[in-house]
Homo-oligomer: A and B are copies of this chain.
Amino acid sequence: MSYFDAASSAPLHPVARQALQASLDEGWADPARLYREGRRARLLLDAAREAAADAVGCRPDELVFTSSGTRAVHSGTAGALAGRRRVGRHLIVSAVEHSSVLHSAEAHEGDGGTVTEVAVDRGGAVDPEAYAASLRADTALACLQSANHEVGTEQPVTRVAEVCRAAGVPLLVDAAQSLPWGRVEGDWSLLTGSAHKWGGPAGVGLLVVRKGVRFAAQGPVDERESGRAAGFENIPAIVAAAASLRAVRAEAAAEGARLRELTERIRARVPELVPDVEVVGDPVRRLPHLVTFSCLYVDGETVLHELDRAGFSVSSGSSCTSSTLTPSHVLRAMGVVSEGNVRVSLPFGADEADVERFLDVLPGVVRGVRETLGAPVAGGDGAAEAVTVDALGMACPLPVIELAKAIGRVRVGGTVTVLADDEVAAVDIPAWCWTQGQEYVGERPADHGVAYVVRRSS
């Protein structure tokens, strides 16, 4: 098996395993107690905090351990918003944040706050000017990920932090994806991370709140972890998290360069090997280990299933692979194709031979799915002025397949109107036009569903 989904969860690093096992005997007692077992637990906890703070680049008393990265985000956003409630209740997030940030924003809105979502470009990056333009007198907090979890694009954190600092607004950086690779530079105010993303154990997140940042922990009072993370400390896991972060950092430069070369190979070769593919995310400013592409005319679920059968574990932002049957909000915000989406995120130590085997297997998998679905052949020299395609009742990727079949039946300058009620079409039809060099005219409500109009340009 080749596990290529490190961005979801990384296999346990050997150092994490050693540290966990070594500290099970010393770290089970209550570190608040003054007897010997408690003092030993406290020493382990303090040492882990020092190590983690050093890796993050903060003071130990600025860092608390939470029970997960999600919890760090929930507590960090809620505490920072409450700490600046007198200033106002406006929150800024990017459109491509992790769901934990977006769900925190929804909860804030549900509680009467206001939220501005900053758009991203087609590469998935925000524009610092857009953050600057979103800042208001009542802005309590801004959030920006260090790098995107689905497409790997690095965000301009340093510049956004400058913009926020100039306005006196704290910036919370969700660093879950980038923390294994290095510190987050720039003058941020809060930072969150998740140990199982860097090969640490599950059950450990980080929340850093810089000195001087107003912060009012929410929820019932609890004395542990400076009042910022309720519940008994999970010390063996915390020790393992800190030790493994240090270990992956020691390997990060060399391993990052090696994995970047492997993902570069995927970026370059997949479009050569598979027709009608869009590689998404910034080609340069990106995480070293992550590459994402979308294959037209296939459904992501079948592709994942076939890749799993062939021994590859990857993930997808396609609608058919999500419980809500909507495509990834990241792909949607970027305006890129979501159908047949595949994310490859290589774990530390990923084998070059496995990557080559993946490149061998992928074209046949995609071809097989396309054949089953009756995917179109490019081109055609039709003469019709206008064609209407009824794709009502069809789910992704069928409406796009019907569009691609119909486009060859109209003359250059003619239009295809697709009637569809699958809401993914609203994402994928414009994105298809962009990849195929066709003109997306627009959409309008129809008697049933929505009518999407496309003009043939070539």
Contacts and interface: CB of A to CB of B under 8 A. Distances in A.
A221 interface: yes
Interface stretch (A27-35, A369-377, A416-424, A430-438): A27-35
Interface string A193-216: 010100001110100000000000
Interface string A232-267: 111111000000000000000000000000000000
A231 B229 CA distance: 13
Given A12-B24, A70-B231, A203-B237, 15 more contacts: A1-B36, A8-B29, A10-B28, A34-B301, A34-B304, A34-B321, A68-B234, A70-B222, A70-B232, A71-B230, A100-B220, A201-B236, A201-B237, A202-B234, A237-B237
Interface residues of A, number: 65
12 contacts: A9-B29, A21-B21, A34-B304, A35-B308, A68-B230, A70-B232, A99-B222, A103-B221, A107-B221, A196-B232, A202-B233, A202-B235
Interface of A: 1, 3, 5, 8-12, 17, 20-21, 24-25, 27-30, 33-38, 67-71, 74, 99-100, 103-104, 106-107, 194, 196, 201-203, 205, 219-223, 230-237, 301, 304-305, 307-308, 312-315, 321, 323
Going nearest first, the 10 A-B pairs with the smallest beta carbon separation are: A68-B231, A67-B67, A203-B234, A35-B313, A103-B220, A202-B234, A70-B231, A203-B203, A107-B220, A8-B30
A362 B221 CA distance: 35
B5 A69 contact: no
